[in-house]
Structures are given as C-alpha cells and as structure tokens.
Structure 1
Amino acid sequence: MTIAIYGANGHTGRLVAAELLARDQDIVLAGRNSEALRALAAELDSPRVSVHPAELDDAGALRELAAGSAALIHCAGPFTRTCEPLARAAVAGGCHYIDHAIEPKPVKWLFDTMQGPAQQAGVVMIPQLSFYGGLADLLAAAAASGLPAVDRVTIGYSISGWRMTPAAVRTAELLIGEIDRVTYTGGALRVGPVDIRNTVYPFPPPVGPRSMIAPFPSGEMVTIPRHVPARTVESQLTASTFEEEQVFTSQEASPEERARTTFMVAAQVVAEGGGGRTAHLRGRDIWWVGALASADAAVRLVGGDGPGKSGVLSTAEAFEAEPFLRRLAAQGAFELSL
C-alpha cells in the first residue's frame, strides 16, 4: 500500500513525507532531481522509503511509478505545466491521485478530461486537496449543508507572513499574468477576461474586516459548485498579503521561517432570499496544513476509507466535510468554527 510523492524534495513534498512516515506508511520519493531525492532518502533514513526519479516527459517512468503505488500525491508546481502527465500516469497505472494545485485551469482540466478515464480505471482523483482550495471546499460544504438554494458563496483568505517557494513564485507569476480567468457567476463556469477590484471581507474577530483583492484565482470556483447549489462562487485574498516584502523574496527561506505564516480562511454562504451561514478556521503554517490534509486523505484512500465511487472529485465530494475538518483540527492544524 505504498504512497508516492512526486516533487518530494520540495518544501511541501518533504512535509508530506514526514506526515506519511509518522503514520508508518511506505513511501516512494519521486521527482526530476535524482540526486536531491537520494539525499532526502538518506536524511529520512527509514526502511519505509524508496526513490523513483522520473522526468515529466518520461511517460514510461511515470506510469511505472503509478503502477507500483496505491496513491500518488503530486506536489510539484506550477500545476498548469505538471498536472497532465502525472494525472494521465496515475490513471494508466491504476493509482489514486491527489494534488496541491492552486490554479483553476488544471483543476478544471481534470474534471473536463479525466472524469471518464478515472471512472473506467476505478481510481479517485482529488485536485487541490491542500491549504488553498481544499479547505475552502470543505468549509463551503459544511456551511451550506441543509440550505436548499444558495445565491452566493464567498471565500475569504487572510494570509500574513507568506513565504513563497520557488515553485510558488512561478505559479504566482503565471496567475498574475493571465488574461482569461476561470470564474463562476450566474450559475455557470466561465473562462474570459476579468476586472480585478478591491472590496472588503467581513472576517470575524480577531481579524475583522479587511481590504481584499477580488477575485483571487483559486480552483474552488470549479469545485464548490459541484456540491453547493450556488449561483456565484468567488474567492478573495487580503490585499496586504502581497504588500509584505518577504512574500516574493523568500525562495531560500528555511522551513522554520516558512512555518510562520498565520491565516484565517472563511466561507460566507448567502441563501436565496437572504440569510445563510458562515464558517471559518484559523491557524499557522499554510504549508504544513496542506501537507497534513493531503497525507490524511491519501492514507484513508489506500486504507479503503474513501468515497464509495471513483472519478474526479472535489475534496468535499470525496470526504464528508465536517468530520474531515474536525479531524484536522484535532491534529492541531487550526481552530475551527462551524
């Protein structure tokens, strides 16, 4: 029941490896840099660890990785460039797939293109099971539970002290430069030019109302409408996040420095006709929280505690939202308010 980690030598991959080993899980460290992978294996010094170098353009090596694994956690961004070869290899190898994508377009591509192949292969594919996307998907599902009709879901991210990895910087550059963006308005998913605006999000204390950049291009506008009957879904990010000096200049930051991020993620669900519900969580270290979520999900998938169907699923389609969030909160990932 081996779990493969692609991009294992990156910051997120290392955190995922540590979480899986803490659960006595056999793992394969995979990626493009064989020297770095072997150095990480020596550092981990565990009989449960093996190494499998594989370039993104080596379909045979990727398929071999997937065929020898029960699940694959994909941690190597930008996912706009890396998602397709890993996802196709997972399906070809009969292997469950989880990724840490933030970009909406590869998330949309998975649902549009890989749904049939995943169902035929009998595997589960969960994009964006990470800090960005996955937590919002779960919060929205929990807050909207029992509401028959939803006018709007607004996700607010308050992030302070974010220290981007080199891959995160490349991803941000891609997203900032995009003209055509994925949005969900009027009950339909759209791709096209979007006007960026400033607005205010009513975070609960201790954060309080904050100036926001809207829309923030994360993939939950693809995933949330799959299980919440909303007419509009939008994500917003605190404007101050990108004003902090270290955010784009921290590629060489230490793991301890990266762990200093503080965050609140909030979901505001407005029902048709008025009223609705809110939910939020807050904590520290967005990198570790994302790694913990994906590791927990992968262990459950390979242990037979996953969804009762195969295919491409959002986090909240694959796992019941409130229990999943409470499990993470019990492990110290965040303080949860539902």
Structure 2
Amino acid sequence: MAAGAHYLDLTAEQPAVQALHDALGAPAQAAAVAVVPAMAFFGGLADLLATAALAELGGDRPGPHRADEITVAVALDRWWPTAGTRSTGRRNTAQRLIVSGGRLTRAPDPAPATTWVFGPPFGAQPVVALPFSEVVTIAHHVRVGELRSYLMTAPLTELRDPGTPPPTATDESGRSAQRFAVDVAVRRDGRERLLAASGRDIYAVSAPIVAEGVVRLLDGGLRTTGVASPGQIFPAADVLTALSATPHGPRIEERWAWTR
C-alpha cells in the first residue's frame, strides 16, 4: 500500500481472507488500492459464479447483493496434492465457517454429507461439507441467508493419504490430467440459477484466473478499492466469459434454471 500497488492472492483458507479484511480494509481504501484475496480456483471461481448467477436473478441492481441460499459443490476426479497443499493442511487448524441465518458461523461437526448431481462426466456423487475461502469472499459482498460448500468425498481419501504423489504434467502446458467441476446454485425469491465451471488441473487453472485479475487492475477496471472479493471488484460475467476463452481456462455453462 505504501507503494500504491494493488494486491491479489490465491488463498483457499478462510482465516487468511478474514485477516486481510480486518487488517487492511480501511488502510487499503484510504490508499485507493485494491486488495483481492482468493483470486484462484478455490474462493474466486465460486465467488465469480455466484455473483454472475445472482445478476441473472436481478441481483445486479444498485445496493447490496442478496440471495436466499447459495450452494457450492466441487468435484475432482483425482487429487494429487502439491507440497504447499500438504503444508497448508497441517497448519490450517482453524474452525471452518459457513453462513446460516444470514451470519458467518461455525460449520457443523461432524460435517454433513449428501449427494450432488454434477454434469458429465461426474454425475451423482457423494459430497461432504468442506467450506473453503469462497464462503468468506461471498459473505463479504452478498447478503445471503444460507451458504454451504461441498467437496466430493473420493478425492479427500487421496488428499489424506501420505503416499499420494504430487501432480505430474501430462501435456506441454504443464497441466496434470486431473478433471474438475464447480457448481454454484443460487436461489432468490423462488427463482434459481446454477452456473458451472469445468476444466483440468485446479492448480494450473488458478493462473489464468489471477492473471485476468491482474490485467483488469492494470487497465483500471475497478468497481471499488479496499479489500474486495473477486465478484465485488470485477464484473463477474465478463470475467468468466474472458476466462472461458483462454486456452487453459475453465469452461462455463448454465446447467439449469427454474422458477417455483
């Protein structure tokens, strides 16, 4: 901030996002710089999808965004963790947060499990509540009654196995063969939208996500300054469209929409 430089990071951890808001919110706004946490696969991608889906439901009107319920569901066909992921897992012992009754609160323990129907090739999969930084980023700019985040259970077994190897490149770009899908369902006033992102390699796909943010910051495309979530500071639908057009970015689609 002393240099007047903007800041983006790729954190998947809720405490890191909270700490940035607590420590840098007012100073960053006073310095007219942008601090954008979690501009990555975990956190930012779901935040952008939720914001874009909410806009389709009329949530882009002036004033705070509002949703009755937001559900995030993540599918991975494999999880080959990096050394950084393993280190973070050992150090991050903080209580995870969800939104219930319109407030950030501790996630239930034991974590609830359910089934989520993803698009092809995943289909119906068992998932368990495992909120990442998207809960905090969304809650900071969307007034939401209930916000839950789930992860497919199968890759957690690999993540927790110390014998699981790190990712290895399978093409010239350096990406692994891992496939992912992120579904974000947003409900507001009896209407619902589900936007989905899919692609390869959760680590590699974070590169075009954060790079898109950097380009927009350098171009002066800011909606606000201070500590702000990806969907708060950037036009979410426009960012998702740009990402889907990049060679290794996620593919974005609307899976379904309905009105009660």
Compute the TM-score of the two structures, normalised by the length of structure 1: 0.66
Change (3 A) 1:100 1:230: same
Give the residue type in structure 1 aligned to 2:44: G
Please say if 1:173 is aligned against 2:96: no
Aligned ranges 1:292-303 → 2 under 5 Å: 292-303=208-219
Q: Give 1:227's aligned residue.
A: 141
Do the aligned partners of 1:119 and 1:311 also contact (CA within 8 Å) in 2? yes
TM superposition shift of 1:150: 2.4
Structure 1 CA distance, aligned partners of 2:235 and 2:148?
22
Change (3 A) 1:97 1:327: same
Task: Kindly tell me the number of residue pairs found equivalent between the two proteins.
Answer: 243
Residues 225-244 of structure 1: per-residue CA shift (max 9 Å, x gap): 33333201111000011123
Gaps of 5+ in 1: 1-90
Superposed CA RMSD in Å reads 2.2
**Greater RCO (Cα-Cα under 8 Å, separation 6 or more):** 2
Q: Give 2:258's aligned residue.
A: none
Gaps of 5+ in 2: 60-65, 255-260
Please say if 1:131 is aligned against 2:41: yes
Q: Give 1:324's aligned residue.
A: 239
- % same residue: 32
Residues 270-312 of structure 1: per-residue CA shift (max 9 Å, x gap): 224x3311110111111121011111211221232x2143101
TM superposition shift of 1:206: 3.2
Residue 115 of structure 2 aligns to a residue whose secondary structure is: strand
Change (3 A) 1:96 1:249: farther
Structure 1 CA distance, aligned partners of 2:142 and 2:72?
13
TM superposition shift of 1:162: 2.0
Bigger-Rg structure (1/2): 1
Do the aligned partners of 1:103 and 1:217 also contact (CA within 8 Å) in 2? no
Q: Give 1:203's aligned residue.
A: 118
Do the aligned partners of 1:162 and 1:258 also contact (CA within 8 Å) in 2? no
Do the aligned partners of 1:123 and 1:310 also contact (CA within 8 Å) in 2? yes
Residues 67-114 of structure 1: per-residue CA shift (max 9 Å, x gap): xxxxxxxxxxxxxxxxxxxxxxxx233211100100111101112221
Out of 51, 69, 73, the position equivalent to 1:152 is: 69
Q: Which runs of 4+ in 1 moved over 4 A?
A: 245-248, 250-253
Change (3 A) 1:199 1:252: closer
